[in-house]
A and B are shown apart, each in its own frame.
Chain A
Amino acid sequence: MVDLSSSFETECEIIDRDHRRLVEMVNAIVAAIDGDHATECATRVPKFVKFAKQHFVREEAFLADIGYPETQKHHDHHRALDGKMATILGLAAKAADNQLAREALKKDLVFFLMDDVINADLDFKPFIKVRKT
């Protein structure tokens, strides 16, 4: 289980709300796997990936809107995650009847979310902070 503790907050409500939702989704998937409902992965994981992609779109629009100078770089970063999301979807398809796929899926999901998505979003936190004041 992961949670969105204070050090991961961007202090920008629309972004943090998305992050919290993503965290809930990942935790639900992990709980499903741990609770022997791995079959749910086949539906839950695609929903998660879809929401993540929507989040990227919303976030990039927001960054462009506030004039964040490294919006393009962040966009490139999101694009680079496509391969990982494909891997995650692939693992989810196998999760129902493959123990190794379930273990790999849990790890990949958590690192993807906490490191690749949320931790990377902290890059623009200082910019938002300065802009607020």
Chain B
Amino acid sequence: MALGAKRVSLGWLNAWTLGTVAIALIVTLPILAVGYVGLTPSDDIWSHLVSTVLPGYVWTTLQLMALVGVGTFIIGVGSAWVVSTCRFPGKRVFEWAMLLPMAMPAYIIAYVYTDILEYAGPVQAMLREFFGWTTKREYWFPEIRSLGGAASMMTLVLYPYVYLLSRAAFMEQSVCVLEASRVLGRGPWRSFFSVALPLARPAIVIGLSLVLMETLNDFGTVDFFAVGTFTLGIYDVWLNMNNIAGAAQLAGVLLLFVAFLVLSERFGRRKQKFHHTTSKYKALPGYQLTGARAVLATAGCALPVLLGFALPAAVLASYAAIHFDDAANAEVLRHAGNSLLLSTIAATIAVAIGIFMAYAVRLRGEAVLKVMVRLASLGYAVPGSVLAVGIMVSLGAFDNGVDAYMRETFGISTGLLLSGTIAAVTFGYLVRFLALSFGTVEASLGKITPSMDGASRSLGHGTFSTLRRIHLPLIRGSMLTAVMLVFVDCMKELPITVILRPFNFHTLATYVHQFASDEQLGEASLAALAIVGFGVLPVIALSIAISKARPGHGSNTEKEMS
């Protein structure tokens, strides 16, 4: 039995599996490092933390999560329901405009609102003038720099996650289910609570989980408002108390919160599969709203968009116009260059790795691979501050190891190779946003029927050739989307950049953070505006995707496939 020369290895020892395992290990290293350092402290910092700051961090973080959760639920689900089931003035615009606040990082609207709502700001000045007050003691005004203020800021920019997912869920509910409910004698409100909401619950759970992950991740807002959450605590213990083990321990506790959120998200996704009632969807006809109700719907939808996007963007634009000068612009341009460079590199690598992993899973559906891919995707849930600690620890260990080895063998000290370089920042972005690129690419690959692979292979093309000639051309659109999503998230990213950046190195985000923290928002307004500008890109892409996916517009998968 003469066998041919080119055999396929049947074991798991192959480039795809090994490569994926290697990527997963490297990417999870920072998370493992946090766990390791947290569990093996050099001194007994833990009992100190427990007796001093920890209860406060836990309580504040829980309060913040609860407030943001409730806020985004009300705005997100409410607007999604109204937009997808009612007809009222501006409905078509709101369908996509509700997403606009996504473009606004929480820390930027925090700076803007602080600027206009503080004692010396225009709002209070106007009130004083109008009512003739002269001192602060004569009237009450809510303090923006508070837990409630931070929660409001986050709610305003994070509710689109809930909106997006619950709207999709409402659209997917066959109109027949809702009509059946109404025919059976339930009014629109009772139909909402007894049919639509329970059916959309898995989607809403996913949306809320994502919102809360972002809440835990936030650094800029809580830092500026001095709200003592975990993220701020980690930063504080590490940089101000100079105790990396303590920071790692706090990070470990934060990871427990995260684990809970990841589990609830997974739970939601699993449930979601059972909740698709019928495959035949008809566009929801919509209840025609008139009079006061129509006004209420329009106003209710307009308010979050105005407060979360239009107003702050307008304020930033006016500040930018006032503070426009060449010297400052040159500096902004330099930082923008840094941001662009880092984000482009990170996005390109993230998408390349995402394609590699998604194709590996497609080629060989081994259990090992699926576990590895899931591990590699964990970064999206881990707050930037925790990742930063982990990266600092693991890169430090790597640098010291290399240095020791080189000194021993060649007598050369290599010093710190990676710590405090832009490579460290890029790595941080990669760990955090890999899930984003992987998920996008995987979803897109999943739409290509496996018979395409079979056809190409049987026609004599190997796995790489098939990827290059069939899959990559077919998923080109999603690849660009993935690059853009990661790119924009890197542009906005603050906690990882702040902690890992080289000395005196700024991105647009850190530059805005630094100036705004010094209450010089005007100087940084152009940079902030630039971040928001980039942030609008994915919103546009999402809007287009949504309008394409609307029932009756034909599925784009079909077009892609046939």
Contact = CB atoms under 8 A, between A and B. Distances in A.
Chain A bound to chain B: yes
Nearest to A9: B1
A6 interface: yes
Contacts of A7: 1
A7 B2 CA distance: 10
Contacts of A6: 1-2
Looking at chain B's contact residues, is the secondary structure mostly helix, strand, loop, or mixed?
A: loop
Interface string B1-30: 110000000000000000000000000000
Contacts of B1: 6-7
Interface string A1-42: 000001100000000000000000000000000000000000
Contacts of B2: 6
A6 B2 CA distance: 9
A110 to B, nearest CB: 23
Nearest to A7: B1
Nearest to A6: B1
A7 B1 CA distance: 7
Nearest to B2: A6
Interface in B152-175: none
Interface in B486-528: none
Contacts, number: 3
A56 B1 CA distance: 26
A6 B3 CA distance: 12
Classify chain B: how many residues form its interface, as a range: under 10
B4 to A, nearest CB: 14
A19 to B, nearest CB: 17
B2 to A, nearest CB: 8
A6 B1 CA distance: 7
B69 to A, nearest CB: 65
A7 B3 CA distance: 12
A99 B1 CA distance: 39
A81 B132 CA distance: 112
A9 to B, nearest CB: 10
A93 to B, nearest CB: 41
Interface string B526-554: 00000000000000000000000000000
B257 to A, nearest CB: 60
A31 B405 CA distance: 78
A47 to B, nearest CB: 33
Interface string B318-356: 000000000000000000000000000000000000000
A14 to B, nearest CB: 22
A25 B2 CA distance: 28
A78 to B, nearest CB: 27
A29 B499 CA distance: 86
A3 to B, nearest CB: 16
B102 to A, nearest CB: 63
A73 B343 CA distance: 70
A29 B295 CA distance: 93
B3 to A, nearest CB: 12
B234 to A, nearest CB: 65
Interface string A92-114: 00000000000000000000000
A26 B456 CA distance: 39
A128 to B, nearest CB: 16
A88 B1 CA distance: 33
A111 to B, nearest CB: 23
A99 to B, nearest CB: 36
3 contacts: A6-B1, A6-B2, A7-B1
Interface of A: 6-7
Q: Nearest 3 CB-CB pairs, A to B?
A: A6-B1, A7-B1, A6-B2
